[in-house]
Amino acid sequence: MEGRRLRGGFTTTDSPPLHTSEPLRRTAFNRLFAAVYFSAILALLYRHVQNLFLLSTTSLLSFSTTLSLFISDLVLAFMWASLQALRMSPIRRKEFPQDLKQIIKDEDFVGLDVFICTADPYKEPPMNVVNTALSLMAYDYPTDKISIYVSDDGGSDLTLFAFMEAAEFARHWLPFCREHNVMERSPQVYFESNYHSSSPHFEKIK
């Protein structure tokens, strides 16, 4: 089943899909299991009601214990029931974010404000914070619609220096990501998982 597409607030049929979805095979099993489980819960609660109101209790202690168990089972039954909506009709969804720009224009994208917070350069190495910022800056998103803010509560000179170097590196990294359609846009992860320091791509970035 194809996902619905929107253009200007109206659904269209000539646009590429943004997602598709299909039901999973375990739907029937989930529903059968839920029916059996629900029957067991009803039997348990009925037994509690019998013990509380229909049978004579011998002491206040036994009544209090039975009442506590009854309340506990009611809470657990409610928690179980509230999760069943996810299992009654499970689906597998596949997204096509690359089709988004065929449906809406760059100026129609919503503005994004991203905050990166850091405080201790020893517990949160500046290299990791810088990689987070660079990967966000390299998002496949209109550049005038995304703003990235860094808050350094520790006021670290090391973090400041790391971001000064990162600003220079970004002049090469961001165009490289767009030119080569790089999917993994965290520099550290990209180079560690794909290339050695002697590779042509690494030399080009350097």
Q: Residues forming the annotated binding site for UDP-alpha-D-glucose?
A: 123-124, 153
CA distance 156 to 167: 17
CA distance 27 to 15: 30
Tokens of 20: 């598709």
CA distance 99 to 12: 14
Residue numbering of the annotated binding site: 123-124, 153
The DSSP secondary structure of 27-86, one letter per residue, reads: HHHHHHHHHHHHHHHHHHHHHHHIIIIISPPS-HHHHHHHHHHHHHHHHHHHHHHHTTHH
CA distance 133 to 125: 13
Annotate 183-201 with three-state secondary structure. Answer: CCCCHHHHHHHHCCCCCHH
Determine whether 22 is exposed, middle or buried from the number of CB atoms within 10 Å of its CB (0-12, 13-18, 19+): exposed
- Cβ atoms 182, 190 nearer than 8 A: yes
